[in-house]
Structure formats: structure tokens, C-alpha cells
Chain A
């Protein structure tokens, strides 16, 4: 049964800031090994939705499930802390602003999670970090501090840092939006490589072409609801809904 359960499942997710409702009952299901992209104008709630999956944002109601475990279990205090700290280890998150730890070297950034949270020895964590750095094409940058890296390199390190926890899913929150155009491709390459390895991924992005190319399923969100979803090539090139068409027209003309 667990094998059949979706990797990520959201049921009727709602979130309000005061009287302003930013998520109006979102349902979403991501099967194991699938890649789902979420597009939409800024303020549509797409980042909030992604961030509510690992509870960086608290939701007002609804259920969040990861591989058969409920993420937002109704626990209190210490019990909730323990639960959420544990389940977050199974979800890698990549941020728009990278959020590397500036006081740690690239290797230390990647090793600290596995060592402190998963009890890996330093040697084992180092092996894992070096392998991941090689994978993202930065084998020679291990001893550099993040300040010495370009935006694209920082984001690849951030991906390696998330992968070092060996998560079940990866959440990308506009991972390339803060990058200079010429640096976007190197990050996209790493994400494509993960896709080829059947990592389950949920991607919030502005890049229609990349979304169409890499994902199995696409959602268009606007005003806190899913306006349209389906095959990414259809949603992103020949949408049914007028709101999606209007967004794509505006986006392509920019």
C-alpha cells in the first residue's frame, strides 16, 4: 500500500494572512519519481504552497503527506518539534537566494547536516560531500567559502547540501530566479540530471521552457487556486483557461 501511496500529497491546503486567503484549498499529488512544476504570477501562492510542504509556512487547514506519513500531524510543543525536525530531513529544499552558510566552507556546508543530524562520521560525510560536489561539477571548490562562488555555483552547492541528507523529495523554490541568465543553464543541467535519476521533484519556476522539458505534470496557479493542470506541453503551450493564456502571453512578451 505504501508503495502505491503518492510521494507528496496535499489535501485541501488553505492558508490565510489575517483576512487575506493566499491558498484556497489546494489538492496536489506527486507520484514517486515524478516531476511536477508549478508556474504562475508572483503572489499566486505557488511559493507559499511549496514552503508549506516542509512547514516553513504554517497552513490554516488541510493535510500534508509525505510517502505515507502525515507532515502536519496535530502534535504540540516538543513532540511536534521532534516530528518536524525528523520529517524535514526527508525533504530537500533549494531556495531562490541559495542560503548557503557563509561561515562554513563548501564541504562543511554539505557535511554538517549528515554529521550532526544523521550521525555520519566525518570521513563518511566527507566521502559523501566529495561525491556530490563531483556530481554538481564543483569538485575543486570544496575548500572555498560561499562568498567566493558565483550564483550558479552557490546554487549547485545548495543542491548538493540538500542531497547530502538523502531526501525522498526535492523542493525547488525558484531556484534560478536570482541568477544571471548565463548561469541558469548550469543549475538546470543539475536538475535535469536529478530528473534522469528519478528523484521526485516539485519545482516552482518562472522558466516555461525548462518546466515543459523536464516535468511530467504542470500546474498553473493564480489567486491561491490551481487554475489549470495537466501535461506540461499542453498547459504551457496550449492552455485551455483564459487566465493561463493571459499569463503566458504576458510572460513571453517580456
Chain B
């Protein structure tokens, strides 16, 4: 059997829809992972031990177990005890939580790396503890964390493929649908791989722009 990429053309709409879902899932889960990552990092650093200990335990769990297992637990495990989340949102939340744990670690290191002189300068002007963090420490930490958090977002993009096991429409599942009708796995998986790569390049380009901005203030 020879390769024939012309079959891909008639499924372009399906693949394109899958690609859009992949991008949407990446954007939603990525946002959750960044925002929650910041919340977790500030809670574990600045919060009382009552708040920070359980949070640290949860991080340990999310970083120490496979993403796939976490998704199964969220989807099948929770439905068993009566919590029914739509598959799409299970996937988005699961991915978001998983990467929030990794991002939290990065944000925590970045927060700790901000020069203590910054706190002294802000406090000496009359800024309180909370305002000092909000206006000076957290923004600087976010800029420091940007390259690593960006890399995590690229890994997250690739991990959206895992959601296909929950029957969530995205690029891989839609490629599989096309394959089940055409029996052409190479053509469709290869095309899907190319599409991931293109989105990847676009993300890296955006990151490099943001990185250059961050470099300017160093």
C-alpha cells in the first residue's frame, strides 16, 4: 500500500475543527495552570501553615502521579461518587490542575528570587505587606518565571492529546475518526503531528517576543 496524502484533503474540515479544540483546550487549561500556579505559590509562601500544608500535599500528589491516571480519577472516579463533570471540562480542569502544580513550583522559586531590596524599597515608601507583593514582588516573579512557564505551556499543548482517551474531541481523536473511515493511519497521524508542530512554532514565537520584553528590564 502506498502513501496517499490526497485523502487528507477531504477530511481537512474535521482536522481543522480538531485543531481548534486543541488550541481552545490549551488556552483554557493553560490559563488555569498559570493563575492557579500563582495562587498556589503565594499561598504556600505567604499563607498560614493551615492553608499551605494541604496545598503542598496536593501539589505533591499532582506532580507524583501520571496525568492519565488523574484524568481517569476525575472522570470515572468522581462519577462513581455522583460528581458528573462533562468530559470536556474534566479534561480542561485535569490538565489545568496538573500543570498548575508544575507552574506553582516555578513561581515559588521566582518569588523567592526577587531581591529583598525590592521589599525594602516598597516598604520604605509606605506600601504594606500585601501591596508590596501585589505591585512589586509578584509582577517581577512572573517575568522571571515566564520562560519556564512558557515551556510548560508547550508541553501542555502536546499533552492535550491524552484527552482523546476520554472521548474529548481534539486533534488526535479527530484524526482517529478519519482513520477509522479511511484506514490511512500514517497520513492522518503524520498530518496531525505537523499541525501540532505548527502550533508549537507559533507558541515559541510568541514566547520569544515576551521573553525579549522581559529581557529589556533586566
| Residues in A lying within 8 Å of B, measured CB to CB | 54, 56, 81, 85-86, 88-89, 91-93, 95, 97, 99-103, 112-113, 116-117, 145-147, 158, 161-162, 165
Give bound CA distance, A147 to B139, whole Å.
16
B117 close to A86 (CB less than 8 A): no
B interface with A by C-beta (< 8 Å) = 115, 117-118, 120-129, 131, 135-136, 139-140, 143, 216-218
B112 to chain A, nearest CB (A): 17
Known: A116-B135, A147-B218. A99 touches B117 (CB 8 A): yes
Ordered by A's residue number, 19 sampled pairs between the chains whose C-beta atoms are within 8 Å are: A56-B124, A81-B129, A86-B126, A91-B124, A93-B121, A99-B118, A99-B120, A101-B140, A103-B140, A103-B217, A116-B131, A116-B135, A117-B126, A117-B127, A158-B121, A162-B124, A162-B125, A165-B125, A165-B126
In the assembled complex, how far is the CB of residue A98 from the closest CB belonging to chain B, in whole angstroms?
A: 8
B interface: dominant SS: helix
Is A113 a contact partner of B129 (Cβ separation < 8 A)? no
Query: Residue among A93, A102, A161 with the most chain B CB within 10 A?
Result: A102
Nearest to B143 among chain A residues (CB) is A103
Contact partner of B128 (CB less than 8 A), chosen from A85, A91, A93, is A85
Residue numbers in A under 8 Å from B118 (CB-CB): 99, 101
B127 touches A99 (CB 8 A): no
A113 and B125 contacting across the interface, CB-CB below 8 Å: yes
- Distance, CA A112 to CA B121, complexed state (A): 12
Using Cβ atoms and an 8 Å threshold, which residues of chain B touch A100? 121
Residues in A whose Cβ lies below 8 Å from that of B127: 85, 113, 116-117
CB-defined contacts of A92 to chain B, threshold 8 Å: 124
Tell me the nearest residue of chain A to B122, going by C-beta: A101
Chain B residues whose C-beta falls within 8 Å of the C-beta of A89 in the assembled complex: 125-126
Residue of B nearest to A109 (CB): B121
Given contacts A81-B129, A116-B135, contact A93 B216 (CB under 8 A): no
Chain A residue nearest to B130 in the complex (CB): A81
A117–B118 Cα gap in the complex (Å)? 17
**Chain A residues near B126 (CB-CB < 8 A):** 85-86, 88-89, 113, 117, 165
Query: Cβ of B125 and Cβ of A56 under 8 Å apart?
Result: no
Say how far B81's CB is from chain A's closest CB, in angstroms: 42
Partner of B121, one of A85, A91, A95: A95
Q: Which residue of A lies closest to B216 (CB)?
A: A145
